[in-house]
Structure 1
Amino acid sequence: MTTTPRTLPVTDLSLVVLVGATGSGKSTFAHRHFKPTEVISSDFCRGLVADDENDQSASSDAFDVLHYVVGKRLAAGRLTVVDATSVQQESRRQLVRLARQYDVLPIAIVLDMPEEVCAERNAARPERAGMPRHVIQRHRRELRRSLRGLQREGFRKIHVLRSPEEVDAAEVVLEKRFNDKRHLTGPFDIIGDVHGCSSELDSLLGALGYVDGAHPEGRTAVFVGDLVDRGPDSPGVLRRVMAMTASGNALCVPGNHENKLGRWLGGRKVQHTHGLAETIEQLERADAEDPAFREQVREFIDGLVSHYVLDGGKLVVCHAGLPEKYHGRTSGRVRAHALYGETTGETDEFGLPVRYPWAEDYRGKAAVVYGHTPVPTASWVNNTLCLDTGAVFGGKLTALRWPERELVEVPAEKVWYEPVKPLVTDVHGGHQGRPLDLADVHGRRIVETRHMGRVAVREENAAAALEVMSRFAVDPRLLAYLPPTMAPTATSQEEGYLEHPAEAFAQYRADGVQRVVCEEKHMGSRAVALVCRDADVARTRFGTEGYAWAAGGGDSGPTGALHTRTGRPFFDDAEATEQVLDRLRRAVTAAGLWEELDTDWLLLDAEMMPWSLKASGLLRTQYAAVGAASRAVLPGVTAALEAAVARGLDVGGLLERQRERTADAAAFTRAYRRYCWTTDALDGVRLAPFQILAVQGRSLAGAPHDRQLDWLDRLVDTDAVAVGGLLQRTRRIVVDTGDEESVRAGIDWWLEMTGAGGEGMVVKPLDALVRDGKGRLVQPGVKVRGREYLRIVYGPEYTRADNLTRLRGRFLGHKRSLALREFALGLEALDRLAAGEPLWRVHEAVFAVLALESEPVDPRL
């Protein structure tokens, strides 16, 4: 007799429990239909704890292991199959409890085989040959008692196979969860709570470009629920949304108001409050026009899925918000959270439940877009966005264009329903949300970067960075980037030189980089400037409400930040910071860069001069002290030796060495004095910008350096004419590493510049982000410091032949590795900032840069 093939649908994330007497063929079935790693066998677990899969005395420990492994797999979101008899209700109860704990569907596949079949199979297995017949009979009796109650136990799907032929003809087919729409990549237009505002919905769809419910560019509308109640035309909204979803032009998740309306339509007793009475009245009028409409609405609501995971898992849409642990899960608890959110158990002064601020703690990778709790303005908080902007209360109807992350709004035509309480922002922190907390930085950290993969931060380094960040850094909302350290060029073998451009050009040529730009290295202090168009932009984009503001710039608050490469404020008072930012802002305005770069803020990397502006303590205690000591001692020693030579003593060699030491000490003093001068407020201060790092919506770290310097030349030129000469140009020359004449010109330029007292130059690939032939990041820049400048670093007498020989053994590998890792982290911070990711995500990379600065590396490099 031919058995009709049978399909057994199994949800792709579920707990599948195989139920059957010993010898019913569960293990064979599992091996045929599931991956070996998906199947957790009680026999295997018994073998793990007792070295004998048939040792029944080890069953208790074996099932402890089984439940533990099942829990770990379900927590990781993996299909799991339990291969055990599971004929007793208690054993199944524990598995159903695990499925509920991890919000997955429990599915039972029952192999109800005849007693003779089970007995024959056991007899054919040596380890089971002595199995008493009454064990099989007991298993089958327990199984038969259980069959009718499996659904009541919580199993959502039950497949029963009653003969070997049915088993052989069965085929397990994995089904995607209803909420799994990761294959849909959009683009999407996600629309907030409509609440019966049909006219506003028509206006918003028009503003988004929809014509007759469809978008000419194939965009898909996604509604976050609460289509009905309170507004003037809930049936009109339902008709529009139902038609769009039926035609494939829209998706919709249910809101708590749809859930309540659906229960009323199904004949359940519900209170006619919070706008339901108005919707019922409107539906009764609609029934007169279309008697089938009410049933269509009921079916539509019944078919709505609690939430959707979209765009490869990058986007989650639900009604009331959803923590990451619930994304893509299926349970009553997940549905309840998606519909109603979570409350603290308290009520506010208006008698409404106090919502738990889950978004402030959200750390998930997917953006969560939701509604439910009306707010005056939609703003991002930790990669979550509430789109309920109170259209029915006289606010706005808001949509998010994804992946563009652009908001589109239309105002309400009137106050259709008086709110119980005023609209207030549900969470604090504006666009950014909260910065890192201890849980984000404690212990060893791994940061995923786009350009270098995983970058590790050791626990001890993280602790050092936490100390600096918590005690000394600028306000974290304005700290978006820390510059990486820079590796020096390979050690030179040129006579009299420790560093020389020839090695830098040769290294880039070996890496396949043909064109490099050599930029003048300014001897000052690194300064990162965040320049906003005004204080309103700083508040809106960077959430500076409540900023501790004690400057002479008025009450408007900061317009940006100016900090060192370790995140500390560059100046001690906010007034000096605002003066620099104001000069920069006026230069940006005069140069037309706001419009050209389409931004209201920009992030600059620069060098602030003179060096003495920030390094006065270092100068006094280290460099000036050496110079003063040499001037106090060496002239007397030289004079005494000269007198001794005059008296005929044979100390000429010693005298010559002392004269060399005197000359070296004088050169050392001249070297550091070149970078020190007196300033009065901003008079005498110079700022040399050399890169625009990021603007609104874009990281510019990958922009070619010649384009970068063209922008900055315009900034410097307009500052000189229209503002007052704070900014200083960065001189440069482009070198072709494969052309000897071009390389010689680069070397001559460096010799001329350093001979005139310049610090040296930085050599960078002209195209900024470059990889070598093996796909590895090439050093973003190497510094080639001048011969005299290196006296400050290595001491007055470093140029002596014996000292140079010793210094040429310096090890650069760790410094180069550190420079690349910090560069990748800096790029990651800029990418996250430009993408509008939450502040904690930006700070994860920024914090890691600061942590890596604690690694033990020769500071002279």
Structure 2
Amino acid sequence: MTEIDIPDLALVALVGVSGSGKSTFARKHFKPTQVLSSDFFRGLIADDENDQSASAEAFEALHYIAGKRLAAGKLTVVDATNVQQHGRTELVKLAKEHDVLPVAIVLDVPEKLAWERTEQRPDRDFGPQVISRMTRELRRSLGRLSREGFRKVHVLRGPEEIENTTIRYERLFNDRRDLAGPFDIIGDVHGCRSELDLLLAKLGYQVEHDRARHPEGRIAVFVGDLVDRGPDSPGVLRLVMNMVADGTALCVAGNHEQKLGRKLNGRNVQLTHGLPETLSQLEKTDDSFVAEVRRFIEGLISHYVLDGGKLVVAHAGLKEAYHGRASGRVRSFALYGETTGETDEYGLPVRYPWARDYRGQAAVVYGHTPTPVPEWINNTICLDTGCVFGGNLTALRWPSREIVAVPAAHEYYAPARPLVAPSRPADELDIADVTGRRHIDYGYGRTTIPAENAAAALEVMGRFAIDPGTLVWLPPTMAPCSTSTLDGYLEHPASAFADLRAAGVTRVVCEEKHMGSRAVVKVSRSGGAIWTRTGRPFFPDSSALLDRVRAAAEPLFDELGTDWLLLDTELLPWSAKAASLIRTRYAGVGAAGRAALPAALSVVSAAAARGLDVSALRDRLALRSAEIDGYSAAYRTYATDDPVTIAPFAVLAGQGVSFADRDHGWHLAVADRLVAADPELFTSTRRIVVDLGDEAAEAAATEWWLALTEAGGEGMVVKPYAGLKVVDDKGRLVQPGVKCRGREYLRIIYGPEYTRPDQLAGLRRRSLGRKRNLALREHGLGLAALDRLAEGAAGWRIHELVFAVLACESEPVDPRL
């Protein structure tokens, strides 16, 4: 039995004369979809698999399909004779273009056997001289396949060896998707052994005698550049080499290891960038250690794909097309990144900002280019924080994404480029920050913003929104409670209580859902703004309204230690903003129904008076008339000329502080103070606190809801009493609130006749999953924006989150939910 190994991602060329059994071998060992046969493609082109005049077009099509498969990461087998060098050259070129390994499997059978098999095929009409020519070409090829670029060459001689061959697939060295961690990914060490010991200890590793192990089995992953510039490169190498040997660490190659390895192998390299210091330190060690270092460096690979493909570690980063691939081009990118061909004022190459274009699903963690502070950019993060230059040595815990760092004891090496914060002004916004498909890690989760959603948000932001520098938060959409099964109800408090109880919430506050429009109010001692859920100004001029808000909030500024406050509110009445909507969408329906149905009933009643049996029709019309009356009463509640008032229910943030972790009792108490200060401007939010599981309390809240809704109110919002940052037992955010709307209000949403049993049955099949996921995503983005606002983060970092909330609003979700 002969066993041959091939990578699980490769371009495999079957090489053999006609009649050698290539197609039989391919059918036995590969899936039909993996095999691209030249005969099949000739048939596609010319309706005749033996039409050699179609070979050029057939191979052009074959190479095109092979390229598509390789781009998709699929093993591809080319079933053709491949005995001529020019044909194989095209295949090697194709493999290199897609950064996969080319493999040759040669089926070498006696010429006589090949001819006997060919004679038995009626579709072959050439003579034995063709087999002889192919055999000579094959013989000339055997010794040069490796030189042509094939990374693996397997020669199977004779029909018996071919028949008894098995294929074993091997993963590439960089494929460690089976390792799920948890990991501690450590940035560029550059010979700073003392700081490495401190960082490992801070991460919980036990460091002893040039070895380190974590008691919980965590694995350290080094991004390369262990050596040069720092005071103890041999010490760093001893520790990391032992950890790798013990299975407690992984390490990828850095450009400094690459250069040191070339020097140790006798190559001529420039003694710059800290290499002389490392060589001097190594001279003080014994020759056996230097030999171990040389072997260790030679074994370092370009990058690792880890945790089921969710994590990629490479020294200088890696764009998505190179993940899990193997080629000189991939290794070069992983070691050095990509440059623009220019040099900066310090004589250093200008790096191409590949991370800003990255849109991959896997998180890419890297180093190489020192940065003062690690930050996520499109699901990538650089951990080189310049320890050797006097910065920090930084690690990333995976999968928690927690940053852990220790400061350098000294500046061991003067940087060619000053290690300073980016020169970009904090309030400078760049369209590149928000355009295209983007992945955002916001601390409470991750989300992908499709390019089309970003384009829609940019349209709204560019044409209608207030100044992006002022627009620091947008309210999340709100999910309804689970659909009720109670007779006549689509939404009911019992479902809302059950939803939050299932999430582990034990206490809730039921807040009256005001009949208005969501409004965000930012008020300061000297100005402010009021904006809608989509970032638009509420009124052309809000100055008079803001003056009154400021006067009422004045005592809070000093008490909370801030010069400004950000309030989440409802602006009433709804008609103040939605008058045209009421007039064009709702009033028209009501007016048409009230005009037509009484007239129709009059006609039907007259017909009944003449003895016609129209009772069923009359009952239907009477029902519809009652439904229209209920519909009209529901929307008329909102069509008022009442003066504008504001109902505050949450104080989101102030100068240097987020109040998102305060409970709703605190928020509503502050709101009550605003109401007391100006009861004509501010409206109180009625509420009731309920301990879930207390049947009497839940029943009382239900009765309260019924009274609210029967009096024309919209309903209530049920929120976890503990505040906005409530998580379940798995650490996931809980819905900040679920809305529970009244029967009559829902007529506006679902139509006059929605309470009919057949209509209600259909509505109960509505899917809430997408709406709930959207609500949680927007809520998490909003919390992250408040956190960054409190931290004093750059304006563009806050804006990218606010923009993402607006982009999420383009998700295809039923607007009635």
TM-score of the superposition, structure 1-length normalised? 0.71
Alignment partners' CA distance in 2, 1:526 and 1:92: 66
Over 3 Å counting, the alpha-carbon distance change for 1:124 and 1:507 in structure 2 is farther
Alignment partners' CA distance in 1, 2:301 and 2:550: 50
Over 3 Å counting, the alpha-carbon distance change for 1:107 and 1:786 in structure 2 is closer
Tell me what 2:93 maps to.
97
Over 3 Å counting, the alpha-carbon distance change for 1:711 and 1:588 in structure 2 is farther
- Letter of the 2:573 partner, please give it: W
- Letter of the 2:177 partner, please give it: R
CA contact (8 A) 2:234 2:282 kept: yes
CA contact (8 A) 2:473 2:782 kept: no
Cα displacement string for residues 685-711 of structure 1 (whole angstroms, at most 9, x for unaligned residues): 32135999xxx99xx9xxxxxxx9x93
Tell me what 1:267 maps to.
266
Alignment partners' CA distance in 1, 2:547 and 2:279: 59
1:773-788 equivalences under 5 Å are 783-785=740-742
1:528-543 equivalences under 5 Å are none
Alignment partners' CA distance in 1, 2:227 and 2:801: 36
Structure 2: unaligned runs, 5 residues or longer: 441-446, 503-507, 592-625, 727-734, 789-796
Q: Given the alignment, which residue of 54, 62, 66 partners 1:66?
A: 62
Tell me what 1:849 maps to.
809
Alignment partners' CA distance in 2, 1:564 and 1:237: 56
Structure 1: unaligned runs, 5 residues or longer: 448-453, 493-499, 532-549, 592-601, 630-659, 680-684, 701-707, 770-777
CA contact (8 A) 2:183 2:397 kept: yes
Alignment partners' CA distance in 2, 1:588 and 1:170: 81
Secondary structure in 1 matching 2:668: helix
Tell me what 2:573 maps to.
611
CA contact (8 A) 1:465 1:847 kept: yes
Residue 405 in structure 1 maps to residue 401 in structure 2: yes
Q: Given the alignment, which residue of 707, 713, 716 partners 1:752?
A: 707
- Letter of the 2:295 partner, please give it: E
Over 3 Å counting, the alpha-carbon distance change for 1:501 and 1:589 in structure 2 is farther
Residue 327 in structure 1 maps to residue 326 in structure 2: no
Over 3 Å counting, the alpha-carbon distance change for 1:488 and 1:122 in structure 2 is closer
Tell me what 1:825 maps to.
774
Alignment partners' CA distance in 2, 1:277 and 1:619: 75
Over 3 Å counting, the alpha-carbon distance change for 1:201 and 1:851 in structure 2 is closer
TM-score of the superposition, structure 2-length normalised? 0.75
Alignment partners' CA distance in 1, 2:451 and 2:229: 55
- Letter of the 2:282 partner, please give it: L
Q: CA deviation at 1:223?
A: 0.7
- Letter of the 1:122 partner, please give it: T
Tell me what 2:536 maps to.
568
Alignment partners' CA distance in 2, 1:196 and 1:805: 72
Tell me what 2:412 maps to.
416
Secondary structure in 2 matching 1:173: strand
Q: Given the alignment, which residue of 434, 459, 470 partners 1:467?
A: 459
Alignment partners' CA distance in 2, 1:57 and 1:623: 68
Alignment partners' CA distance in 2, 1:293 and 1:462: 55
Identity %: 51
CA contact (8 A) 2:488 2:757 kept: no
Tell me what 1:671 maps to.
637
- Letter of the 1:687 partner, please give it: P
Tell me what 1:595 maps to.
none
CA contact (8 A) 1:504 1:763 kept: no
Tell me what 1:365 maps to.
361
Q: CA deviation at 1:522?
A: 1.2
Alignment partners' CA distance in 2, 1:17 and 1:623: 66
Alignment partners' CA distance in 2, 1:228 and 1:490: 64
1:56-455 equivalences under 5 Å are 56-128=52-124, 130-211=125-206, 212=208, 213-286=212-285, 290-425=286-421, 438-440=435-437
Q: CA deviation at 1:306?
A: 0.4
Alignment partners' CA distance in 2, 1:748 and 1:298: 78
Alignment partners' CA distance in 1, 2:239 and 2:347: 34
Tell me what 1:645 maps to.
none
Secondary structure in 2 matching 1:385: strand
Q: Given the alignment, which residue of 509, 512, 518 partners 1:520?
A: 512
Residue 29 in structure 1 maps to residue 25 in structure 2: yes
Over 3 Å counting, the alpha-carbon distance change for 1:399 and 1:744 in structure 2 is closer
Secondary structure in 2 matching 1:292: helix
Cα displacement string for residues 741-785 of structure 1 (whole angstroms, at most 9, x for unaligned residues): 99997775345324556343468999999xxxxxxxx9x966544
CA contact (8 A) 1:394 1:415 kept: yes
- Letter of the 2:281 partner, please give it: Q
Alignment partners' CA distance in 2, 1:507 and 1:258: 64
Q: CA deviation at 1:491?
A: 14
Q: CA deviation at 1:192?
A: 0.8
Alignment partners' CA distance in 1, 2:313 and 2:176: 11
Tell me whether 822-831 or 241-250 shows the greater mean CA deviation. Answer: 822-831
Q: CA deviation at 1:676?
A: 3.4
- Letter of the 1:375 partner, please give it: T
Over 3 Å counting, the alpha-carbon distance change for 1:285 and 1:56 in structure 2 is same
CA contact (8 A) 2:363 2:380 kept: yes
Alignment partners' CA distance in 2, 1:120 and 1:79: 32
Tell me what 1:717 maps to.
669
CA contact (8 A) 1:375 1:390 kept: yes
Q: CA deviation at 1:227?
A: 0.7
Secondary structure in 1 matching 2:198: helix
Superposition RMSD on alpha carbons, in Å? 5.4
- Letter of the 2:513 partner, please give it: K
CA contact (8 A) 1:103 1:330 kept: yes
Secondary structure in 1 matching 2:17: coil
CA contact (8 A) 2:111 2:132 kept: yes
1:609-758 equivalences under 5 Å are 609-611=571-573, 615=577, 618=580, 671-672=637-638, 676-678=642-644, 685-689=646-650, 711-717=663-669, 720=672, 728-732=684-688, 748-754=703-709, 758=713
Tell me what 1:774 maps to.
none
- Letter of the 1:355 partner, please give it: R
